[in-house]
């Protein structure tokens, strides 16, 4: 990860949709392909890996930094969500992004705004049950960002696996002319998936949070050793969380990678997902088993 404190080239920051369109149109006229990386800021190496994937392909890389109010529930962490724009800009400049779009909420949701995307079926289980309305907000803002930036390719993380399926399905269903690429989850050396919300964790909670990735790695190991029973693997995952003292588990799930339907048998590639509360912080993680 580049050092946020080192001097970096300046990076254009725009806050209005009009400025974004103008800058992107100029890049396109100059023959550039456009890469879009939507984020909520508080950037870490996971976000930057998406930027790097776009930059490596020579794209004019636009990063959006917007804490989207419509994807947060009324009792969620919208107001506390970390906002670190100056640091984000340094990191993005060092990573080779060429434009940042960081609008105020009123730019995206002006007075009178009332049109929302009804998300696809794949939004219903898992996060959809735990966070009603979340994917409606995600799909709406992402479609707006697609219309504003008109990217050739948009980059998302496997870390938010269900979100990537929702976006892919929306793009297919609504004929949005963008290619969606899903990049691998970046982890700390000890396995913890990078997340902006990790900043909320105390040292003790950080140790506890490791149980999420540990449960996924334990599942992968069982499958690698020939275990095919989802019930056995599910139980093992829950044990890892319980042993760490995590008692607020939203879900532990073994599902089909395309439909998110629960599976009983692990003979085919399966996604293991976990969502749990560590202290006051809700964390999610997932891993492809048998892929
Ligand atoms: P967020 O700022 O949390 O909305 O995330 C913005 C994008 O970064 C989403 O496509 C996420 O899936 C992706 N992302 C978040 N964490 C990671 C990670 N640890 N590794 C790779 N991508 C990530």
| Cα–Cα dist 238/78, whole Å | 29
pLDDT computed for residue 1 by the predictor: 56
Active site residue 158: no
Mutate to test the pocket of ligand 1, among 40, 44, 45, 47 (most ligand atoms within 8 A of CB): 47
Tell me, in angstroms, the distance from the centre of ligand 1 to residue 36's CA.
13
| Cα–Cα dist 72/67, whole Å | 9
**Contact status, residue 244 vs residue 279, Cβ threshold 8 Å:** no
Question: What does each of the 291 residues of the chain score in pLDDT, given as a tens digit?
Answer: 555 555 456 899 999 999 999 999 999 999 999 999 999 999 999 999 999 999 999 999 999 999 999 999 999 999 999 999 999 999 999 999 999 999 999 999 999 999 999 999 999 999 999 999 999 999 999 999 999 999 999 999 999 999 999 999 999 999 999 999 999 999 999 999 999 999 999 999 999 999 999 999 999 999 999 999 999 999 999 999 999 999 999 999 999 999 999 999 999 999 999 999 999 999 999 999 997
Tell me, in angstroms, the distance from the centre of ligand 1 to residue 285's CA.
11
Q: Report which protein residue has its CA nearest ligand 1's atom 5.
A: 39
pLDDT computed for residue 68 by the predictor: 98
The β-bridge partners of 64 are 38, 101
Sheet harboring 248-255: ordered strands across?
248-255, 270-278, 281-289
What length does the chain have? 291
pLDDT computed for residue 291 by the predictor: 77
Per DSSP, helices labelled H in 57-185 are: 85-95, 105-108, 127-130, 134-149, 161-173
| Cα–Cα dist 190/195, whole Å | 14
Question: Which residues does ligand 1 sit against, CB inside 6 Å?
Answer: 39-40, 46-47, 49-50, 156-157, 159-160, 183, 185-186, 193-196
């Amino acid at each position: 990860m580049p050092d946020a404190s080192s001097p970096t080239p300046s990076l254009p920051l725009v806050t209005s949709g009009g400025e974004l369109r103008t800058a992107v149109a100029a890049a396109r006229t100059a023959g550039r392909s456009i890469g879009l990386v939507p984020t909520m800021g508080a950037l870490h190496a996971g976000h930057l890996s998406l930027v790097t994937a776009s930059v490596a392909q020579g794209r004019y890389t636009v990063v959006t930094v917007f804490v989207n109010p419509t994807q947060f529930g009324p009792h969620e962490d919208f107001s506390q969500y970390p906002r670190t724009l100056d640091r984000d800009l340094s990191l993005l400049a060092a990573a080779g992004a060429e434009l940042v779009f960081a609008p105020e909420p009123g730019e995206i949701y002006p007075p009178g705004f009332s049109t929302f995307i009804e998300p696809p079926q794949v939004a219903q289980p898992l996060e959809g049950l735990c966070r009603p309305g979340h994917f409606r907000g995600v799909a709406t803002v992402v479609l707006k960002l697609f219309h504003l930036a008109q990217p050739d390719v948009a980059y998302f993380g496997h870390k938010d696996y269900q979100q990537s399926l929702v976006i892919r399905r929306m793009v297919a269903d609504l004929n949005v002319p963008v290619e969606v690429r899903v990049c691998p989850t970046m982890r700390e050396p000890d396995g913890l998936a990078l997340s902006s919300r990790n900043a909320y964790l105390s040292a003790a909670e950080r140790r506890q949070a490791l149980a999420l990735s540990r449960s996924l790695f334990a599942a992968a190991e069982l499958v690698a050793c020939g275990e095919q029973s989802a019930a056995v693997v599910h139980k093992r995952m829950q044990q890892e969380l319980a042993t760490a003292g995590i008692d607020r588990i939203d879900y532990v799930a073994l599902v089909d990678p395309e439909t998110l339907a629960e599976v009983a048998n692990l003979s085919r590639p399966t996604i293991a997902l976990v969502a749990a509360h560590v202290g006051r912080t809700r964390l999610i993680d997932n891993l492809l088993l048998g892929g």
